Copies of this chain bind each other. A is one copy, B any other.
Amino acid sequence: MSKLLIVGSVAFDAIETPFGKTDKILGGAATYIGLSAAHFKVPAAIVSVVGEDFPEAYLEMLKDRNIDISAIEVVKGGKTFFWSGKYHNDLNSRDTLETQLNVLADFNPVVPDAYKDSDIVMLGNLHPIVQNSVLEQLTKRPKLVVLDTMNFWMDNALEDLHNVIAKVDVITINDEEARQLSGEHALVKAARVIEKMGPKYVVIKKGEHGALLFHNELVFFAPALPLEEVFDPTGAGDTFAGGFVGHLAKTENISFENMKKAVIHGSNLASFCVEKFGTERIQELSHEAVQQRLKEFKELTQFEIELS
């Protein structure tokens, strides 16, 4: 099994959807990625920062899932990153109500020695300078570096973003962000432009419309499972990324064929994430439930067709 290093926020979220609202609950990109990847039982560590207000119980919960939390810095007297948002009725868009960077504002990630030779590095959504600083601490080139980012950095730190994008193997990004980054509307063209920026693999996440994996002339598509209820989309993209890298780390195989499976595993785990608020569903999830839904993914997409 490959060693997996995860960098990203560990945070508090307060979420409002048409179905209800939460107080401050556990959130953050690295949290979702870690909980999702933990389903593959790979050696993983999270590099992040929280404040003194962050409950010990949350850290223990991550540790219980065999996630190395020694590089989650707890800043004395500091407050944890906080985001609050409200989803619109269709759940496809949301308004940010509040963002308190708090300890994330001065975050200097320190990669633990034991993870400086990680095989797979997942750079969760953060300032690209922070993502870059993680790469610079590594003692060997990982087999695979995966980067997630968002439009905010395209608007506010594009040059820094390009610098880190040039160094990664895979980028995961949503459809609108792919269009913004590339200047192309058609996703096939957008992926081609982004591949020229560095990443050999481009994953475009389309939310309820599934995800596309591009590599040279190859393309693979995984639908989102049609769900009766989408309760809270928060963290779905990070859960996808966690399943993607989790599968690749477990199987130690970064071929395109295996990445297709990784996309399915990511989509599968993300389909659970949205069923409850925050990390609740992905925390409680059993191996059997995951396997059952993988079966549904097969039934949803697989067909036999004769070519003549």
Q: Can you list 12 A-B contacts with CB-CB less than 8 angstroms, sorted by A residue number?
A: A186-B230, A187-B226, A219-B300, A223-B223, A257-B304, A261-B303, A291-B308, A294-B305, A294-B307, A295-B307, A301-B301, A302-B303
Residues of B within 8 A of A308 (CB): 287, 291
Asked if residues A305 and B219 are in contact (CB atoms below 8 Å), the reply is no
Say yes or no: is A188 at the interface (Cβ < 8 Å to chain B).
Answer: yes
A305 adjacent to B186 (CB under 8 Å): no
Query: Is A155 among interface residues, defined by CB-CB distance under 8 A?
Result: no
Residues of chain A at interface, number, CB under 8 A: 40
A24 on the B face (CB < 8 A) = no
| CB neighbours of A87 from chain B (8 A) | none
**Inter-chain contact A261/B305, CB cutoff 8 Å:** yes
- B226 touching A219, Cβ below 8 Å: yes
Q: How far is the CB of A250 from chain B (nearest CB, A)?
A: 11
Cα distance, A229 to B261, chains bound together (Å)? 28
Q: Which residues on B sit within 8 Å (CB–CB) of A223? A: 210, 221, 223
| A153 on the B face (CB < 8 A) | no
Q: Is the CB of B230 within 8 A of A226?
A: no
Is A189 among interface residues, defined by CB-CB distance under 8 A? yes
A220 contacts partner chain B, Cβ-Cβ < 8 Å: yes
Q: Which residue of B is nearest A212, CB measured?
A: B226
Q: A223-B210, A223-B223 are in contact. Are A228 and B189 (CB under 8 A)?
A: yes
Query: How many copies of the chain does the oligomer comprise?
Result: 2
Question: A227 contacts which chain B residues (CB < 8 A)?
Answer: 186, 188
Q: Is the interface of A mostly helix, strand, loop or mixed?
A: mixed
Bound-state CA distance A167–B183 (Å) is: 48
A182-198 to B contact mask, C-beta < 8 Å, 1/0: 00011111000000000
- Cβ of A209 within 8 Å of any chain B Cβ, yes or no, is yes
Query: Chain B's nearest CB lies how many Å from the CB of A308?
Result: 6
Within the complex, which residue of B188, B189, B221, B291 is in contact with A301, where a contact is CB–CB below 8 Å?
A: B221
User: Which of A260, A265, A294 is most buried by chain B, counting CB atoms within 10 A of its CB?
Assistant: A260
Contacting B at CB under 8 A, from A232-270, are 257, 260-261, 264-265
A298 within 8 A of B: yes
A281 at the interface (CB under 8 A from B): no
Q: Mark A274-285, 1 if CB is under 8 A from B, else 0.
A: 000000000000
Q: Cα distance A308–B230 when bound, in Å?
A: 27
Q: A209-B209, A226-B188 are in contact. Are A291 and B307 (CB under 8 A)?
A: yes
CA distance A303 to B297 in the complex (A): 10
Contacts of A189 in B (CB 8 A): 228
Asked if B264 contacts A303 (CB within 8 A), the reply is yes
With A261-B305, A291-B307, A307-B294 as given contacts, are A300 and B230 in contact (CB-CB < 8 Å)? no
The reply to whether B226 and A185 contact each other, CB–CB distance below 8 Å, is: no
**In the assembled complex, A90 has its CB within 8 A of some CB on chain B:** yes
Q: Does A206 contact B (CB under 8 A)?
A: yes
